[in-house]
Amino acid sequence: MQRKSSFFLSSLFLSLSFSFSSSVGAQDYDPSRVIVKLAPEVEISEVTTLKSTRLLDEYYVIQTSDAAGLVKQLSSNPNVEKVSLNYKRSVGFAPQDPSKRFFKSLVSDPFFNDVRATKLWAFDDKEENGIDVNKYYAYLAAHPEIKKSPVLVAVVDTGADLTHPDLQGKFWVNKKEVAGNGIDDDKNGYVDDVNGINTLQRNPQNEATGNVTLDPGPCTFLDCSASHGTHVSGTIAAVQNNKIGVAGISSEAKLISIKTVPTDGDETDIDVAESYAYAAKMGARVINCSFGKAVNEGGNMVNEMITTIAKKYNVLVVIAAGNSNQNIDTTLTYPASYPNPYTVVVGASTSGGSRASFSNYGIKNVDIFAPGQGIVSSVKGGYQSFDGTSMAAPHVAGVAAEILSVFPKLNVKELKDVLLKSAVLVPSYEPLSVSGGLLNVMEAYNYAAKNYPNKR
């Protein structure tokens, strides 16, 4: 049950890749919780009298003072199909290296009036190594008959700055929940979950709270838990055409903010699985996961949960490939290397048209490339340029949301088909990814319009 390696890559997939070494032992799992999957037709009361919470279907989290002992005990119980410790996921950062960024000239003719729109090289045409966002919105403007509807996107990350001026109106609101009254008004198991949940902050009943607001205190790049999640949020959904800041890729995305990834600790398998279950139950169609770890200690519950929510709730999980310049077909990283048909794993491209030097790759396990270097987006208190596959994944999540807003009847496999088949082929990406290409929103729209016309 112990880690086989002492080297970990960054949990948050910014492009920083120095590795931490980590000691092994009891701290590698949470001693207070285990996750079980019950056998069919079994009630949790037949398995344990300890306090438990139902995550989804037959999945339950059980609270205990001896996780290892409970796992040992339940693993031979015929009423339990699977039981797993709550593994932690090591966190680590490596420094950003702006000197390696390739900055081309500003976008000459952006569609949007936001002051930083000229810096959004990813929005430029495919001939300029962008993903045709400007071109796509110009097309939509010329075709007002194209109807769009809102799409919920869950950002499972470090939380987000709910007060950011360029994200106003973009956060999902749980209308059945009354804020701040200490009551779980919609009876979904979470008190005051108005914009999402915080699995890192738990009430005395050990339930995730609804407090997704930022931690107080100063906010610089690496010590601000808000920056990462706020940046990801802006790439997907920042307010377009409000003359400030940046523009998000999807005009229709509403963000469910889920705080699960600490910057100074480890996110755990149960928290990740709980985040996915919550997002799915609340109606998310896309989940962005800009995090991961290089070692799987033995747990497979996260992968199972991805499959479960895809089948039951039609949710696509978009995952950053990681930033250690490795082939993740052979050097596995999780959740990116899980063999799962319901995920899209994203490597990072540059404005120069090549794989970012830090980006992981793999002809089996990386699906597509998307812009991930010199990406300007919202952070607490302003805007910043970040590098990382953490920044590439939300480009895919944003395009996925945009396609779903026009084609809401697409199922997960069809949506994945649209994203991958419409990728713009790049010879150097062909041995590095499933699609062999770069994300493109205009091509994705055209592909969906041609191949799935009845899914509007």
Catalytic residues: 157, 228, 390
Which x/- pattern, by CB under 5 A, does the window 58-87 give for Ca ion? ------------------------------
Give the other-Cβ count within 10 Å of 452's Cβ.
18
Q: Of 121-129, 234-242, 314-322, 380-388, which segment contacts Ca ion by CB under 5 A?
A: 234-242
Task: Enter the tokens of residue 447.
Answer: 């592909």
| CB of 207 or CB of 329, closer to Ca ion | 207
* 140-to-147, 366, 406, 450 alpha-carbon distances in Å: 9, 30, 11, 16
Stretch that binds Ca ion, among 15-23, 107-115, 136-144, 441-449 (CB under 5 A): 107-115
286 phi/psi in degrees, rounded to 5: -135, 140
Q: Is 394 in the site for Ca ion (CB under 5 A)?
A: no
Least Å distance between CB 160 and Ca ion?
A: 15
Task: Supply the minimum distance, in Å, between the C-beta of residue 203 and Ca ion.
Answer: 12
Three-class DSSP category at 89: strand
Task: Count other C-beta atoms under 10 Å from residue 30's C-beta.
Answer: 18
> Taking the complex as a whole, how short is the minimal distance between the CB of residue 250 and Ca ion, in angstroms?
13
| Per-residue H/E/C for 268-285 | EHHHHHHHHHHHHHCCCC
Nearer Cβ to Ca ion (293/380) = 380
CB of 120 to Ca ion, least distance (A): 10
Of the candidate spans 60-68, 151-159, 233-241, 444-452, the one that interacts with Ca ion by CB under 5 A turns out to be: 233-241
CB of 129 to Ca ion, least distance (A): 23
CA 236 to chain centroid, in Å, comes to: 11
Burial class (CB in 10 A: 0-12, 13-18, 19+), 34: buried
Instruction: Return the residue of 58, 193, 367, 443 that touches Ca ion, per CB under 5 A.
Output: 193
Buried b (16+ CB within 10 A) or exposed e, 247-257: bbbbbbbbbbb
Exactly one of 173, 183, 206, 413 binds Ca ion (CB under 5 A); that residue is 183
Q: Please report the beta strands in 64-184, taking only residues with DSSP state E, as ranges in sequence order.
A: 80-89, 151-157
* Binders in 240-299 for Ca ion, by CB under 5 A: 242, 245
28, 30, 58, 114: which one contacts Ca ion (CB under 5 A)? 114
Applying CB under 5 A, among 28, 132, 157, 192 the residue interacting with Ca ion is: 192
Query: Least distance from C-beta 72 to Ca ion, angstroms?
Result: 34
DSSP string, 180-193: TSSS-TT-SS-TT-
- Reference 256, options 371, 346, 338, 177; nearest CA is 177
CB nearer Ca ion, residue 5 or residue 181: 181
Let me know if 25 is exposed, middle or buried by CB neighbors in 10 A (0-12, 13-18, 19+).
exposed
According to the binding rule CB under 5 A, does residue 207 interact with Ca ion?
Answer: no
Told to check if 203 binds Ca ion by CB under 5 A, we report no
Which residues contribute to the site for Ca ion (CB under 5 A)? 114, 166, 177-178, 181, 183-186, 188, 190, 192-193, 239, 242, 245
